[in-house]
Amino acid sequence: MLMPEAEFKKQVSIRMTKNHLTLDDVLIIAEYFGVSFSACYYRMINLISTPFAEKISKRTLKNYHPDLKRKQLGFDDSKLLSDLFDVWDDIDFDYSDKHARRMFKSNYIYNDARLEGVCLQQEEVGEIVADLRANTQKSQYCNPAYEVFCHVAGHAAMYEKIFELTNDQSCSIFLLGMLNSLLFSCFPNPEYGGVTRKNNTLVLGAKFETIDFRDIATELLRLETVLSKLIADACAISRSEYIRRVIGIHHRITVIHPYSDGNGRTSRAFMNLLFILQGIPPIYFCVRVKDEYCDALSYMDTNADSSVLLSLVFKTIMFSHAELHNQGSY
């Protein structure tokens, strides 16, 4: 058991002040046992009588954001995870494997779409998406009534292209336009995909202002220089440093926000392309970590500190590595 009862109660008594605990105390105890905040919280309320001064509401729990609190309390595992990645010998994944492609067209695309609010059940997708991929604008489903399926079909097309691009070592930031275009390739008006926005926009929930639309081309050119340096340095730098710099590019794309729609999916797809080029498993953020991912981006927005997002990406790569290898190749 990760949290033995006797030791758990001992740690509670150490943290207990004024006859009650705070959520920060729960997080500190969770760190002691090496478990998640939520696991520790639920063991707390099941094992300890009235541990808090007042009942903790679901809203309070949702707004606590343990990963950001961990950073504020001085807990930062990004260095530990960086060291782990730099000595991890068998992380390399054969991205040409058919199983990897199938994973992206099911779990990966499903979760990434859900991250952007495109809600579908996986079993709904198959037949309609196949028809959209095959017939695009001539498909009977290429109409506003099937918009969510158009999203997923375009997403699948985008990831198919990514696996093709991994055989081509020439990589440019301007591939973003092609990826965004593919994302909307199954819509009734596909010509809007890949076109940079023509006005300024506000990203709801973001802690940054997007780049003025008149500066998009200039900013992408600057990012092209950063990307070229990364590609040139790739074989000379550590794996963790490569991932850190990829995350920096990913975050910068979200701030530039080049397109009217699909920026999140496009930037995450480009991040995966950069991972695959170096044999790093591609990743997706499942729905349950959506808030954690958004919080990590926000923390980077306001603090110019990538450690929270870096830790999340490291853990997600490990999850992806295990998922892809455990299920084997087909």
Q: 10-residue block means of pLDDT along the chain (330 residues)?
A: 87 85 92 87 89 88 86 78 79 62 70 69 69 84 82 85 75 95 90 92 69 95 97 93 97 95 93 91 84 86 88 90 62
The pLDDT value given to residue 100:
65
The pLDDT value given to residue 72:
80
**What is the distance between the alpha carbons of residues 131 and 278, in angstroms, rounded to a whole number?**
33
**What is the distance between the alpha carbons of residues 173 and 165, in angstroms, rounded to a whole number?**
13
The pLDDT value given to residue 143:
85
The amino acid at 42: Y
The pLDDT value given to residue 163:
82
The pTM score is 0.78
Residue that is written with structure tokens 């981006």 in the block: 297
Cβ proximity of 300 and 242 under 8 Å: no
DSSP characters for 98-151? HHHHHHIIIIIHHHHHHHTT----HHHHHHHHHHHHHHGGGSTT-SGGGHHHHH
The pLDDT value given to residue 195:
94
**What is the distance between the alpha carbons of residues 222 and 269, in angstroms, rounded to a whole number?**
20
**What is the distance between the alpha carbons of residues 203 and 63, in angstroms, rounded to a whole number?**
20
**What is the distance between the alpha carbons of residues 294 and 309, in angstroms, rounded to a whole number?**
9
Q: Which two tokens stand for residue 292?
A: 């954690």
The pLDDT value given to residue 330:
31
List, in order of start, the domains of the chain with CATH numbers: 5-64 (no CATH), 86-326 (1.10.3290.10)
**What is the distance between the alpha carbons of residues 227 and 171, in angstroms, rounded to a whole number?**
8
The helix/strand count (H/E) of the chain reads as: 16, 0
Cβ proximity of 205 and 294 under 8 Å: yes
